[in-house]
Amino acid sequence: MKILYILALMVLGQGAFAQITSSEFIYEKAPFPSCHASTIEETPTGLVTAWFGGTEERHPDVGIWVSRMVNGKWTAPVEVANGVQNSTIRYPLWNPVLFQMPASKGGELLLFYKEGPTPQDWWGMIKRSKDGGKTWSNTERLPLGILGPIKNKPVMLKDGTLLCPTSSEDNGWRLHFEMTKDGGRTWSRTEAINDGKEFSAIQPSVLFLKDGRLQILCRSKNGYILESFSSDQGKTWSPLKATSLPNPNSGTDAVTLKDGRQVLIYNHVTKESQEWGGKRSPLNVAISSDGKTWKELAVLEKEPKAEFSYPAVIQTKDGKIHITYTWKREKIKHVVITL
């Protein structure tokens, strides 16, 4: 069911208003009881979402499911990937990430995801669609040492490099970056930018700052969202440091808007609040003009002790902000904000 909102959430600079103009579940019923880790992308034929679904996270029957927006409605979920190895072995799948390649680079819709028994020993996979997510190629396994974007979307740099923010969990929580210039056919990567000891960080989002630098914001075990900066288009990064924003060891996502501002989706849960300890409510939207000072834009969910988590956010060509997130591990919710 779609819910329309007429109210303004917050007055922003220069007299602009932010409105939640749509809030809906991607599906009401599905052939799986649990879901998590959604992703959303705009294609030439419309919006596409994906997530993992199955009995529960880590269960071997967990696969990657896709839904498309057609004539204003989401299509029924379709499983497009599973971890079947043979008649006796099946692995769970994890953390899909969609990215629409530009027409100048073939125009494929890329679907990255992870396969394997645990995050400590999973591996990267990719599928491709030439028709906006209707049909998909055979699965390709990424090269050894390449995982693909780990949760949040990659970004296209000016030189045509697709910069994938990623991380590993096999030797502490560490961040690194993977690069491809040919749509995921050949790869290079950086070394880890942290040791996983002083700061434990995974699942970065990449932002473009007005001064030409890149900024990442990431999930951590340190009680705060962590950040780092790059002045050479992602080749090297400054030491991680804590921002002023809390993080209860929960996924976040962020995007740079066309006007240069930054939007962040996260759980504003502090160590002092009663929800601390893995609870992921409320789910908040913040906005910044410089990536440093953040102002509340909206509260998407606030039911105490429930889980609203693992957001994904994009801005579509019409300027609207589209957000998807896990709703109590039962459904995927889609929210549209107009500034």
**pLDDT one-digit tens code per residue, 307-326:** 999 999 999 999 999 999 99
Q: Predicted confidence band at 16 (pLDDT cuts at 50, 70, 90)?
A: very low
**pLDDT one-digit tens code per residue, 250-295:** 999 999 999 999 999 999 998 766 445 557 999 999 999 999 999 9
pLDDT surpasses 90 at 236: yes
How crowded is residue 319: how many other Cβ atoms within 10 Å of its Cβ? 11
pLDDT score for 13: 39
pLDDT score for 5: 43
pLDDT surpasses 50 at 10: no
Mean pLDDT for 177-191 is 97
Mean pLDDT for 191-217 is 97
Q: Which residues contact 96 (CB under 8 A, 6 or more apart)?
A: 37, 38, 39, 50, 51, 52, 64, 111, 112, 113
For residue 58, is it left (φ>0), alpha (ψ between -120 and 50) or beta?
A: left
Percentage of residues in the chain with pLDDT exceeding 90? 91
pTM score above 0.75:
yes
pLDDT score for 7: 41
Q: Which residue has the higher pLDDT, 14 or 178?
A: 178
Q: Predicted confidence band at 17 (pLDDT cuts at 50, 70, 90)?
A: low
